[in-house]
């Protein structure tokens, strides 16, 4: 699929492997061939399927992180086989980050690669999973352990789909926007602060600008280092602690990353980072309604577990603080980015300034239990 030039309604992400076209606005019939497009969606995101989509070419998968398993991946393959999908077909993901990750991996590996089209329907997936070509499923207790880098042919971002999200879901997506702004600099962070209303919600008229600015920042990083050989690792800011919290608590990804970002600032301050920058970012996250510490993450998990089916993600007694911390420590020790007994940890030293240091897992665990 040829990407074409950038316009006010599109962005072209160019890497050595492929050009991806990121288009803004409602889905158009010209975006895909309904006769040769299989679709992956869940029971909620199915409402966002294009009108010309064919029901017999739909593969329904579980909602949320439960979709990211080898079992569900095999179900997608079985669906493609039943449709006799060959290399001329495309696979379309319609939904949140988990569906984008799952379908991206399926498309990259079916017959050694077919086109992938992503229709992210959550703020988090618009800013994170749909941009940059990371695809993966989880394996046992390990998050994103099996995957490949594979750029989608197209990403279609329709901001109107976010109207269906509640404030909690929007808050989770804003965690990634804040992370990008911490990396991108003061102007980006100021834009986000100006986009947040007094009650912590995102101002509707500012939303598309926030999404575009965040995507443009991530595009610049991915184009410089598509396969995360070095520079792209800055996007892991907040994720070492965040993934450990997510695995231990079942918290949605954005909430766990927010807590991980807060903890990363706390650790960075101990190592000479700006206390003022740390305070500024944590105040913003809290205003949005996001946790910035282990205990806040645990309490948020308790609150959300009453409204969200965590399924088998909840492997910890989150009502007990000590059990929760130990579970986070165990997950941190199994971080897929570890190098021996250490982790390349991204430290936010100031707004727009980070550094990566190889820190021992024992040191990180000692920090969490201090």
| SS3 of residue 13 by DSSP | strand
Kindly tell me if the per-residue pLDDT of 180 is higher than 70.
yes
DSSP 62-107: -SGGGGSSHHHHHHHHHHHHHTT--TT-EEEEEESHHHHHHHHHHH
Please answer whether residues 209 and 195 qualify as being in contact, where contact means their C-beta atoms are separated by less than 8 angstroms.
Answer: yes
Per-residue pLDDT tens over the stretch 82-127 = 999 999 999 999 999 999 999 999 999 999 999 999 999 999 999 9
- % the chain with pLDDT above 90: 85
Tokens of 9: 């309604």
Per-residue pLDDT tens over the stretch 24-54 = 999 998 899 999 999 999 999 999 999 999 9
pLDDT score recorded for residue 314:
46
Tokens of 314: 């909840």
Q: What's the whole-number average pLDDT of the chain?
A: 93
pLDDT score recorded for residue 337:
80
> Residue 143: which pLDDT band, with cuts at 50, 70 and 90?
confident
Per-residue pLDDT tens over the stretch 189-204 = 999 999 999 999 999 9
Per-residue pLDDT tens over the stretch 267-278 = 999 999 999 999
pLDDT score recorded for residue 288:
98
More confident residue, 369 or 258: 258
| Euclidean distance between CA atoms 126 and 329, whole angstroms | 30
Instruction: Output the pTM of the full model.
Output: 0.92
Picking from 219, 54, 29, 27, the residue whose alpha carbon sits closest to that of residue 120 is 27
Question: In 303-352, where do the E strands start and end?
Answer: 338-339, 342-350
- Rounded mean pLDDT, 225-252: 94
pLDDT score recorded for residue 4:
45
- Rounded mean pLDDT, 294-311: 79
More confident residue, 303 or 118: 118
pLDDT score recorded for residue 100:
98
Domains recognised in the chain with CATH numbers:
10-163 (3.40.50.1970), 166-369 (1.20.1090.10)
| Euclidean distance between CA atoms 357 and 264, whole angstroms | 12
In sequence order, what are the residues at sequence separation of 6 or more whose Cβ sits closer than 8 angstroms to the Cβ of residue 351? 181, 182, 185, 186, 189, 274, 277, 280, 281
> Residue 3: which pLDDT band, with cuts at 50, 70 and 90?
very low
> Residue 335: which pLDDT band, with cuts at 50, 70 and 90?
confident
> Residue 263: which pLDDT band, with cuts at 50, 70 and 90?
very high
Distances (CA, A) of 174 to 29, 200, 207, 313: 30, 11, 10, 22
pLDDT score recorded for residue 316:
66
- Rounded mean pLDDT, 297-301: 94
Per-residue pLDDT tens over the stretch 56-81 = 999 999 999 999 999 999 999 999 99
């Amino acid at each position: 699929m040829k990407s074409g030039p950038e316009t006010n309604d599109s962005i072209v992400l160019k890497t050595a492997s492929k050009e991806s076209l990121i288009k803004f606005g409602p889905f158009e019939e010209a975006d895909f061939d309904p006769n040769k497009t299989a679709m992956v969606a869940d029971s909620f995101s199915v409402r966002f399927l294009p009108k010309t989509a064919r029901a017999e070419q739909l593969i329904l998968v579980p909602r949320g992180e439960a979709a990211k398993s080898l079992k569900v991946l095999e179900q997608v393959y079985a669906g493609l086989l039943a449709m006799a999908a060959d290399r001329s077909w495309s696979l379309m993901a319609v939904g949140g980050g988990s569906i984008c990750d799952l379908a991206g991996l399926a498309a990259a590996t079916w017959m050694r690669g077919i086109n992938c089209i992503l229709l992210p329907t959550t703020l988090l997936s618009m800013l994170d999973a749909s941009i940059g070509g990371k695809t993966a499923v989880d394996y046992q207790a390990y998050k994103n352990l099996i995957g490949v880098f594979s750029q989608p042919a197209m990403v279609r971002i329709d901001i109107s789909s976010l109207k269906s999200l509640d404030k909690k879901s929007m808050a989770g997506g804003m965690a990634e926007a804040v992370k990008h702004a911490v990396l991108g600099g003061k102007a980006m962070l100021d834009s986000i602060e100006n986009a947040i209303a007094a009650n912590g919600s995102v101002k509707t008229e500012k939303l598309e600008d926030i999404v575009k600015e965040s995507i443009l920042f991530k595009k610049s990083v991915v184009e410089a280092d598509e396969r995360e050989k070095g520079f792209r690792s800055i996007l892991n800011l907040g994720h070492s602690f965040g993934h450990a919290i997510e695995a231990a608590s079942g918290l949605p990804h954005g909430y766990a990353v927010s807590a991980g970002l807060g903890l990363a600032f706390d650790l960075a301050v101990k190592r000479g980072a700006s206390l003022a920058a740390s305070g500024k970012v944590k105040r913003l996250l809290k205003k949005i309604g996001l946790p910035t510490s282990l205990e806040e993450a645990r309490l948020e998990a308790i609150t959300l577990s009453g409204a969200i089916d965590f399924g088998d993600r909840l492997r910890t007694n989150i009502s007990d603080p000590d059990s929760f911390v130990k579970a986070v420590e165990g997950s941190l020790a199994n971080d897929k980015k570890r190098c021996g007994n250490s982790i390349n940890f991204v430290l936010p030293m100031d707004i727009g300034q980070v550094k990566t240091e190889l820190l021992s897992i024992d040191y990180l665990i000692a920090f969490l239990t201090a």
